[in-house]
Amino acid sequence: MLRRGSTGTSLARRGEAAPAVWNPWDLMNDMQRRMDEIFGRSFGFAPAMRWPVVERLDPAVDVFETDDKVIAFAALPGYAPDNIRVEATTDTLSIQGERNALFEDEKATVHRSCGLTGSGQFSVSYTLPVEIDAEKVKASFTNGILRIELPKAEHAKPKGVKVEIGTK
């Protein structure tokens, strides 16, 4: 199957154009929205509207594929390497992390807060675009950026075969 992207034409593998992510909070927020619609149509009010919507706390993650590996970068400001856990299987990458609050002062006046300085934890899993060799995965952490190198399994690497051109 061919798909056209911003960088040209490429082949979509495994039925996916990008790594897939699953977040249970998205499901809860969707369920809340649907319940509000049902109650709003039936009774004229939506009781779940008073519940707080849970925001995603997932880190920003970029995933790239080269001829011999998949490389992932995760932005984890305020996290320490000891509090980050990376797990890989042949087709998934999971990243988990936890941190304490970066700033706590009950007397401070909050003028703007987007959750950057609070304590937090996250757990994300991505379906990889190709099969990898999970035994050879390497990770490094520099300046708040986690870099994960996932070497492709040998059979997943592209192999060029020279084709002889004949004449009729």
Residue type, 144: G
Tokens of 115: 């959750």
- Residue whose structure tokens are 């009010």: 45
State if pTM tops 0.75: no
Same domain, 149 and 69: yes
Give the pLDDT confidence of 118-158 residue by residue, as tens digits.
Answer: 777 889 999 999 999 999 999 999 999 999 999 999 887 77
Same domain, 99 and 29: no
Measuring CA to CA, which residue among 52, 59, 56, 51 is closest to residue 23?
A: 56
145 and 97 together in one domain: yes
What is the Cα–Cα distance from 24 to 166, expressed in whole angstroms? 57
pLDDT in tens, 36-85: 777 776 666 655 555 554 445 688 999 999 999 999 999 998 899 999 99
CB 126 within 8 A of CB 61: yes
Which CATH number is 131's domain given? 2.60.40.790
